[in-house]
Amino acid sequence: MTTDASAPWLIVGLGNPGPEYAGNRHNVGFMVADLLAERIGGKFKRAQKAQAQVVEGRIGPPGPGNRRVILAKPMSYMNLSGGPVTALRDFYKVPTAHVVAVHDELDIDFGMLRLKLGGGDNGHNGLKSMTRAVGPDYHRVRFGIGRPPGRMQVADYVLKDFSSAERKELGYFVDRAADAAECLVIEGLERAQSVYNS
């Protein structure tokens, strides 16, 4: 399937709205989206056509490497992310292959990244909802949060804030994930994987 190179990209940070969730492991997608918005000099505002906050802008060097992007944070809660993503994809006419989900990933050590196109949801409710809505063929920037310690339930673990030890390094890893998302959009998946997959 060929995709129009000039078509916009939709980068979706997955998370839950509200201050009580802001520092949660499950909200690392929002953190990356916030940093990307800062980099392009935009402020999130409510989307007219979707239950989401969006920033529109461009990333990449001036010239042919420049890409139009829509950054989005669904405001629907994690397990209903698919609805806002579909509405934004349709409104901005974004091909599914230009949709990027940035999300927390249990099966990868804290701070490690893996980029890929398509695949399963690995029990992640945000991905499950997105896949139901748009199909599986979108890009993922998977941000490792590691497995819960001891007998802690996964649901409790992802809805807890990063530990104080993790918070010392979190800024660096969020920065790296934002770099990886930019590289994916500007230079393509293979290049981004070779640089950022750890």
- Catalytic residue check, 139: no
Distance CA 150, CA 23 (A): 22
Q: Rounded to the nearest 5°, which phi and psi values hold at 147? A: -90, 155
B/e letters for 14-39, b = 16+ CB within 10 Å, e = fewer, are bbbbeeebeebbbbbbbbbbbbbbee
Check residue 150 and give left, alpha or beta (phi > 0: left; psi -120 to 50: alpha).
left
Which residues are part of the catalytic machinery?
26
